[in-house]
Amino acid sequence: MNFDFLAPVADEVLAAFQNDQFAYGHEIQFHTATTFPDLENVKIALLGVCESRVNPKESSTAIFNEIRKNLYGLYAGNWDVQVADIGDILAGDTPEDTYFAFQNIIEYLLDAKVIPLILGGSQELVYYLYRAYDNRGMVNYVNVDARFDIGNAEQPISTHSYVGKMIMDEPYNLFNYANIGYQTYFCPQEEIGLIEKLFFEAYRLGEISKDITLIEPIMRDADMLSIDVSSVEALTKGSPNGFSNREACALSRYAGIGDRLTSFGIFQLYDLEKTENNSMLVSQMLWYFIEGVNYRKHETDILKEGSYLRYAVPVEDVAPLTFYKSTNSGRWWIEIPFSTSFNNKLKKPTLLSCSYQDYLDACNQAIPERWYKAKRKNEV
């Protein structure tokens, strides 16, 4: 892999934590002017992408450096996950040049079983993150955003239409799209209707703020996840509402814990006001994601691992629903059945992450909505 298009980490970042021997920066491998990290034993690679020309703004480099300085000045937990900072993709001659470089480095990291931890410019970059999964089967994408970003897929890509491109462009790899934190006054009714028609998932800001644990099963099934920084109340310019600082850190930690998640990014950072509190909050979100990865349960297939309890719940008008509870972590799954009586995308029964509340609801004859949508997506 040619890393020539990656700019090394700035000297000011490397100098910022040198006077504190316990700072987290001393545990990081850095891309410098003379060395590049050995990624063989690295689990997470931090990467900046300085592209925001779809909505012309100043370069993201300055805020990226402030975020890094804050992150590396923090103290690590009792962690054993190795992290490398591989530097920044600077804006190419055209946005397409940047997109090409970005997609290629993501493909390389995914092949190497390294989780890209992305500091992103404008959010259309997520489309090229998604395209890096083209040879990896169907993809579950979770988007923490006040908007759905579906837009008009027939128009040139933008920060508010990239999801529409993911839905409409071949190859069709998007199995599920889940939006967390949408605000209805920012979402056209046509887009809300499309989400329902495609059996995608959407959770309003108020619903999640009332009980943030609702997102855990959603995060557990995600392959890739992005956070629009403007969905956080303290960081947004365009709205007085959004997730609180604590909720933003909790979202990041839940993302890290998700065993299946292989990429995570925070985008729209070019629009972030360069204040100490703002860059520190993003740094803490990254810190919580890294902590989450350290505390993964590695339960990608509990049926093979055999550490579970099985519950069959009779529900009126449907076959009994089958739930599984991990005896190691206490987490829950529900089986999506396989049927040969119709064109089913599944080749065998599979498990969908769920909550204990879903099990209780089924016991009270209420079919879990996530199960219903997942089942219907496999039938259409």
> For residue 342, what pLDDT is reported?
45
Write the DSSP assignment of 85-105 as a string of letters. Answer: EEEEE---SSHHHHHHHHHHH
Rounded CA separation 210/28 (Å)? 36
> For residue 166, what pLDDT is reported?
97
> For residue 59, what pLDDT is reported?
53
Q: Is the pLDDT of residue 169 over 70?
A: yes
354-380: average pLDDT: 91
Q: Is the pLDDT of residue 24 over 60?
A: yes
> For residue 56, what pLDDT is reported?
63
> For residue 57, what pLDDT is reported?
59
| Structure confidence at residue 348 as a pLDDT band (50, 70, 90) | low
Rounded CA separation 223/183 (Å)? 24
List residues bridging with 201 in a β-sheet.
178
Token pair belonging to 75: 């103290």
> For residue 82, what pLDDT is reported?
98
The single-letter DSSP state of residue 171 is S
pLDDT digit string, tens, across residues 121-162: 999 999 999 999 999 999 999 999 999 999 999 999 999 999
Rounded CA separation 111/338 (Å)? 30
* Strand pairing class (29-30; 44-49): unpaired
Q: Are 200 and 178 in contact (CB under 8 A)?
A: yes
pTM of the model: 0.94
Return the amino acid letter for 290. Answer: I
> For residue 380, what pLDDT is reported?
62
| Structure confidence at residue 341 as a pLDDT band (50, 70, 90) | very low
> For residue 60, what pLDDT is reported?
64
Fold of 6-294: Arginase; Chain A (3.40.800)
189-195: average pLDDT: 96
Token pair belonging to 20: 């504190």
Q: How far is CA 101 from CA 8, 61, 92, 251, in A?
A: 15, 17, 9, 28
Q: Is the pLDDT of residue 336 over 80?
A: yes
> For residue 354, what pLDDT is reported?
96
Sheet architecture: strand order including 308-315 = 308-315, 318-326, 332-336, 350-354
The single-letter DSSP state of residue 243 is B
| Structure confidence at residue 105 as a pLDDT band (50, 70, 90) | very high
Q: Is the pLDDT of residue 346 over 50?
A: no
Long-range contacts of 333-337 (CB under 8 A, 24+ apart): 333/302, 334/358, 334/359, 334/362, 334/368, 334/370, 334/371, 336/371, 336/374, 336/375, 336/378, 337/375
Return the amino acid letter for 142. Answer: V
- Most confidently predicted of 50-54, 229-233, 348-352: 229-233
Region(s) of the chain under CATH 3.40.800.10: 6-294
| Structure confidence at residue 257 as a pLDDT band (50, 70, 90) | very high
Q: Work out the percent of the chain whose per-residue pLDDT is above 90.
A: 82
E-strand ranges in the chain read 6-7, 29-30, 44-49, 83-89, 115-120, 139-144, 174-182, 201-204, 224-228, 263-267, 308-315, 318-326, 332-336, 350-354
Q: Is the pLDDT of residue 6 over 50?
A: yes
Token pair belonging to 138: 């169907």
pLDDT digit string, tens, across residues 46-96: 999 999 888 765 556 779 999 999 999 999 999 999 999 999 999 899 999
pLDDT digit string, tens, across residues 302-324: 888 788 999 999 998 888 999 99
Q: Residues, the chain, total?
A: 380
At which residue do the structure tokens 């804050």 appear? 70
